[in-house]
Structure 1
Amino acid sequence: MTDSFLEPLGQVRTKIVATLGPASRSPEMIRKLINAGVDVFRLNFSHGTHDDHTESLTNIRRISDEMQRQVCVLQDLCGPKIRLGDLPGGAVECDFGAEFRLSSEQKGADDPHELSCTYKDLPDDLEVGQAVLFADGTVGMEVTAKGEGWAQLKVTLPGRIRSHQGINVPSAALSVEALTEKDLADLDWTATHSVGYVGLSFVRRPEDVTRLRHELEKRGCRARIVAKIEKPQAVANLEAIVDVTDAVMVARGDLGVEIDVEKVPTVQKQIIDACRKARVPVITATQMLNSMETSSRPTRAEASDVFNAVLDGTDAVMLSGETAIGEYPVAAVSTMSKICREAEHLIFSGNPGGIPFTCCAVRGGKKDGETGAVARVSQVLPVTDAIVDAASTVSRRLKAALMVVATHSGRTALAVSKHRNASPTLALTDDVEVARAMSLYWGVTPLHIPELFQTGQVLAFADEWCRTHDLINSGDHLVIVRGVIPNNPNHNALLVHEVE
């Protein structure tokens, strides 16, 4: 791999999520993508078979182990995405004013004006006068009449629709559940395949998240939950959803169809700010470098989009078609990495010690180190929060070369991450699944250490590892923070070390 596609270890704080697909699922490509800067691979369960995803997961695990890198996997559930049925010839032109009939069952297979969809109750849920959007909002129709099992539609925004494209009804309160039968079957796959995060599509209320958590716990899964915000109802219930999830995705694709497009930037900033205050990781997604599906360079607008998302405070940025089906997947990752690094340079050039940051009120919850579900990983004890706050202040004042966190659950590392210190963070944990999950945390380089010992031994290990990777020099300061470690009474410790 050329140096131009090699991300320097620990030097880019914003994390990169890349979607695997036909253009990127080979072992060779996975290795190149990790080198270019991928921290989390997204497996899109809207496409592919369980065997396909098992093969991808196996390759990710094998290659990341060989590279001695902790790489996380996000399983993205399909959710109740409403799609068109089969169309004659695969596509139909929708002229302005043309009329179509949407039925709960496929009728008139040879009639291009007879439409069907995957959600059989949709015609009954529609109301006269409502707008129905197709193909990511590029084609629009209005409901002019309806009866039992059918709705008459008139084209208001002409264009072409294709078989199995998405349908959105922004103003409708549909009765569809957030978890479909397909999603539940996909969670059965999760039960036997360890993933770091499960993405829940089309969240509308906090109960959608708690139901998924129940389904995960019922199957013995430790995966954390990413609530995808792509419905206006989710925006209205944002604080309540953030309060019960482990991470959030600003899913701008369907969000930009469900709400007016000019409102998307405002909502994006609102979501990122809510996650920042709640100490919840947030991913900004969809069309970030969309032109790189077919071009080796992004547009200036796309570069600015990624740059500004970093300035807004996103923890991660995501590539979809750019890496799944694009012609330049490695270049797309490398380009995104360079843009993120440039944005971070701007942030820290104005704030050399980092960005002083105060989280919202600390929530109650399990102690760092207790066993059980990983729910609400953002919860930390007040004493841990105070130690992290003090450590961040020390790091900024000393301009520390590195912060080292020893943690069992990852909570302490997440708390440090949300302080947005200029000093990179090395997080050590004895739990391999926690190490992988921490790959999503801004500024954190996770390491799996089977046994975490006394603070002095943590320091010795960190010192040797950082010297091996050329991350520290004589005279540098290291700030060491210990969270709660099981069966070890020495916890919530803060130590400053000067490298000899």
Structure 2
Amino acid sequence: MHTKIIATIGPACNERFMIKRLVEQGVRIFRLNFSHGSAGDFEHIVRNLRSVENELQHGITIMQDLSGPKIRAGELKESPLSINVGDELFMGPSDQMDRHDPYLPFDHREIIKDLKVGDEVRVSDGGLSFEILEKSGQVLKLRSENSGIITSRKGINFPGLKASIAALTTKDREDLAAGLDMGIDAVAMSFVQCPEDVSSAKHVIEKKGRWIPVIAKLERQVAVNRLEEILRIADGIMVARGDLGLECPLSSLPTLQKRIIAACNQAAKPVIVATQMLLSMVSNPMPTRAETTDVANAVLDGTDCLMLSEETAIGEYPVQAVGYMREIAEEAEKFFFELGTSPLEPKKQVSENFIGYNACLLADKIGSKALVAHTDSGATVRLISSCRPRQTIFGLSPRWDTQKFMNFSWGVVPVHISEEPQDHLQRTEKFVENFSGFLSGEDLVITSGHPKPGVESSPTNLLKIYRK
């Protein structure tokens, strides 16, 4: 299978024997949701993951998902609060609650400052929509557009608003630093609005003397509007459809997903599709027909990874959920190749892109067993992956951080190799000769950096057909 599966760790699958079963089903990336804990709560899980990794000899990537700012209502005077169409209520800081009725406490003063008359406010996972009628200091007067109920601590969304609130909270900074000490391999960042948000996380990582990829979660319309800028600095993108579906019209979410995935493919950056992929399997042993279609369409759209959340974290059938996701993805990939659309030509016609593209073309024309690419940073492997070849891509690197990042890329099998011999081409050929998965007489397409005499290293500049 070329598409990667991400499983969220939770009570249903945090023990070693369950983690092992998920790895055997094909999971290579495990998500730790820091909205529901801190580093200390995940230490034993990380030990279990590393133990399984060592036993099965499959490289496992541990992705920390930061909680970000929790934009929620406070405690209501009376919960639940019933709302009818046209009802008016007030929203603002909790210390103003006794002066207004009915009142929705909301203690994010930075966001209130950015709101203006006419803006939309959505409450209770988007179930209720309000228009701002008046603004008096920190207190807003709202009018309901529909009917429903509000309970305490419900999430609140402000479609299209660029809020003056940091994506990386104090808790996030502490969690990220602790996660790095614990040995996480990647971090997903919530509430990203602009490239500067991603930079703030990278700065924390650099101060710890490490490098790990930062995955920007697209949950806000303002982030989608600045996708190209965010892509230039982020190492990958997550289409977080839950909150994103509250920020934009639900009818536009499918096409928005396709546009985001296409942009990531063109930039050769891995992309994850998340939220409610197989949600019914939290309590049912098999998915709905609509869910199987949703998963397949994400694969056909070009996603690198599919992510399971509640399905594996708290669901009754975590192993079965992964199994169904794998089977659906495999069937979708078969159809993708039947369409004859692979390998895909890069939009940007520059030399680096065409090395990867021509490697895929060559592999396709000669029926190569696989593509084998030596890479230090992983960039060459991501370029090859973005062309979506039929063949498996073996990404060879002596760097552990590069190998862990390659787990996010479609069709890539990361391989750790020695730094000897010094010549990258010789390293690559040595791997081919020693790897039992390649038979004598089989052709492979390999890429590597071949420096000029007197130069120690080189970017990828060599493309070769190698017969074992």
Counterpart of 1:153 (choices 129, 133, 142) is: 142
Deviation of 1:247 (Å)? 0.6
Matches within 5 A, 1:49-448: 49-87=38-76, 91-97=79-85, 98-105=87-94, 113-351=102-340, 354-362=342-350, 382=351, 385-448=353-416
Measured after TM superposition, the shift of residue 417 of structure 1 is 1.0
Partner Cα distance (2:189, 2:287) in 1: 29
Does the 8 Å CA contact 1:357/1:420 hold for their aligned counterparts? no
For 2:428, the aligned partner's letter is: V
Q: Per-residue deviation at 1:44?
A: 1.4
Corresponding position: 1:465 with 2:431: no
Matched-pair contact (CA < 8 Å) for 1:85–1:106:
no
What amino acid is aligned across from residue 415 of structure 1 in structure 2?
L
**2: CA distance, partners of 1:411 / 1:334:** 30
What is the number of residues matched between the two proteins? 461
1:122-175 Cα offsets, whole Å, 9 max, x none, are 444433443321222123333344433333334433334443331101143322
Equivalent residues of 1:322, 1:329 under 8 A apart: yes
Letter in 1 for 2:272: I
> What is the root-mean-square deviation of aligned Cα atoms in Å?
2.7
How many angstroms does 1:337 deviate by?
1.0
**What is the alpha-carbon distance in structure 1 between the residues aligned to residue 132 and residue 153 of structure 2?**
20
Is the Cα–Cα contact under 8 Å of residues 105 and 120 in structure 1 kept in the other structure?
no
Is 410-419 or 207-216 further displaced after alignment? 207-216
For normalisation by structure 2, the TM-score amounts to 0.90
Paired letter, 2:435: W
Quick one: distance in 2 between partners of 1:357 and 1:304?
27
Query: One-letter code of the match for 2:447?
Result: V
Name the CA distance, whole Å, in 2 between partners of 1:92 and 1:484.
Answer: 67
Amino acid at match of 1:395: A
**Counterpart AA for 1:249:** M
SS of 1:157's equivalent in the other structure is coil
Mapped to 1, the partners of 2:95 and 2:31 lie a distance apart of: 33
**Unaligned residue ranges in structure 1 (runs of 5+):** 1-11, 363-381
Does the aligned pair in 2 maintain the 1:229–1:248 contact within 8 Å? Answer: yes
The amino acid that maps onto 2:465 is V
Q: Does 1:33 align with 2:1?
A: no
Q: Which amino acid aligns with 1:496?
A: I
Instruction: List per-residue Cα deviations over 1:301-325 (Å, max 9, x = no partner).
Output: 1111111111111111111111122
Amino acid corresponding to residue 182 of structure 1 in structure 2: K
- Measured against aligned partners, the alpha-carbon deviations of 1:62-113 in whole angstroms (never above 9, x if no partner) come to 2112211111122112222301223468x5143314554333126769x995
**Offset at 1:347?**
1.4
Runs of 4+ in 1 over 6 A off after TM superposition: none
SS of structure 1 residue aligned to 2:307: strand
Unmatched tracts of structure 2, length 5 or more: none
Judging changes above 3 Å, is the alpha-carbon distance between structure 1 residues 358 and 108 closer, same or farther for their aligned structure 2 residues? closer
Deviates more, 1:207-216 or 1:401-410: 207-216
- Output the amino acid matched with 2:463: L
Aligned pair in 2 of structure 1 residues 226, 490: CA closer, same or farther (>3 Å)?
closer
Counterpart code for 2:432: A
TM-score in terms of structure 1 length:
0.85
Q: AA paired with 2:141? A: Q
CA distance in 1, matches of 2:28, 2:333: 17
| CA deviation after TM superposition for structure 1 residue 267, in Å | 1.3
Cα 1:440/1:489, change in 2 over 3 Å: closer
Cα separation, 2, equivalents of 1:225 and 1:437: 10
Deviates more, 1:66-75 or 1:444-453: 444-453
Percent same amino acid among aligned pairs?
38
Query: Does the CA contact (< 8 Å) of 2:114 and 2:163 recur in 1?
Result: yes
CA 1:164–1:38 in structure 2 vs 1: closer, same or farther (change >3 Å)?
farther
Aligned to 2:419, the other structure's residue is in SS state: coil
